[in-house]
Structure 1
Amino acid sequence: MALMAAPPWPPSVAGEAETSRLLARQSRLSWPLSPVPVITKYFDAPETPFGPGHRGVDLAAVPGQDVLAADAGVVVFAGSVGGRPVLSVDHDGGLRTTYEPVVPKVAVGEQVYRGQVLGTVLAGHPGCTVAACLHWGVRRGEEYVDPLALTGEVGEYRLKPWGGGR
């Protein structure tokens, strides 16, 4: 029987780099912008299906920046929703990613690969505090999920009252 030494504590810089590499490899989705963007607005799950919330994250971009497929899939929508250009891709495991506002370079029914250019970011996303923002949403079935959780990143968390408290 072989004995293995425990890793040093706290982890060495090499250990942290290896952990980051493993997390990146295990991430379900990749970032839709490169380099990794600044998050201008975090996910805020609605309490009810039609309640208020923010069903995705807003990512700082520049007008005309390439939008990349977060994973392999099939383009299921490329059109206008509420006057804004939107693009959606279905992925294995029941995930659907949505990107807006985007000028598409792909067509409905087209298979795309992870990292493929889907289109370009347009300026004009409501509430964007920089030149342009990409709104990136993810659904699993009918439930909206935090895209950051699927990239291996930690999102912003807010504690909400549980009820019955003092």
Structure 2
Amino acid sequence: MRFVSVLVLCAALLIVGQAQASASGFAWPLRPRPLVLTSFDPPARDWLPGHRGVDLGGAVGQPVLAAGDGIVAFAGVVAGKPVVSIDHPGGLRTTYEPVEAQVHTGARVVVGARIGTLVTGHADCAGTCLHWGVRRGRDEYLDPLALVRATPVRLKPLRG
């Protein structure tokens, strides 16, 4: 009986955890959940240097996934780097690089859909990493980690 109780509790925690992680409609673009190598560091002024996204540890050939539902706004090369950008409802655009695209501009994608493959080429990383950015409108860069942060699960004592 105790074994069954433990199984039920574990299943409940998984369901609650999944609901909270997907409540925003966004998920991590790499699986399993990657290590954040470089944090978001917005510039004091638009024209000053900064880090307008996060760098996530990954491996060459690893699938890159759409962080949310949307429409592919761009899939191609920018300044010699392969890039994919996705427009999401609410005026957000996520960008992923360096990613060899497996989608085309105008394609509809859903959260978790494979959009490409991680390749080498992001100069800010010692190894292979995914630079993941998000902006609202044309000029407001946001911390992409805010899209995937979930409220921690809090357990309450069982009664009866």
- What is the TM-score with the length of structure 1 in the denominator? 0.77
Listed one character per residue, the Cα deviations across residues 105-164 of structure 1 (whole Å, up to 9, x for unaligned) are: 00001111110000000012102122x10000000112000000111169xxxxxxxxxx
Distance in 2 of aligned mates of 1:20 and 1:140: 27
The reply on whether 1:51 has 2:54 as its aligned counterpart is: no
Q: Which residue of 2 aligns with 1:97?
A: 94
Unaligned ranges ≥5, structure 1: 1-12, 155-166
Q: Partner residue of 2:22?
A: 25
In structure 1, C-alpha distance between the alignment counterparts of 2:105 and 2:48, rounded to whole Å: 29
1:28 deviates by 4.0
Matched letter for residue 70 of structure 1: A
Question: How many Å apart are 1:49 and its aligned residue?
Answer: 1.2
How many residue pairs align between the two structures? 141
Paired AA for residue 58 in structure 1: D
Match of 1:113 among 94, 110, 131: 110
Alpha-carbon distance in 2 for matches of 1:71, 1:127: 25
Q: Out of 111, 114, 136, which is 1:140 matched to?
A: 136
Q: Structure 2: how far apart are the matches of 1:18 and 1:105?
A: 31
Aligned structure 1 segments of 4 or more residues deviating by more than 2 angstroms: 13-23
The amino acid across from 2:62 in the alignment is Q
For the Cα contact (< 8 Å) 2:25–2:111, is it kept in 1?
no
Unpaired runs of 5+ in structure 2?
A: 1-9, 152-160
Deviations for 1:22-45, whole angstroms, at most 9, x for unmatched residues? 531323421000000011100001
Code of the residue aligned with 1:69 in structure 2: it is A
- Residue aligning to 1:37: 34
2:21·2:150 contact (CA, 8 Å) conserved in 1?
Answer: no
Looking at structure 1, the residues matched to 19 and 150 of structure 2 have their Cα atoms a distance apart, in angstroms, of 13
Q: Kindly indicate whether the alpha-carbon contact (under 8 Å) linking 2:68 and 2:110 is maintained by their aligned counterparts in 1.
A: yes
Per-residue Cα deviation, 1:64-111 (whole angstroms, up to 9, x for no partner): 100000011101111111111111000000000000000000000111
Task: Tell me the C-alpha RMSD between the 2 structures.
Answer: 2.1
Aligned to 2:158: none
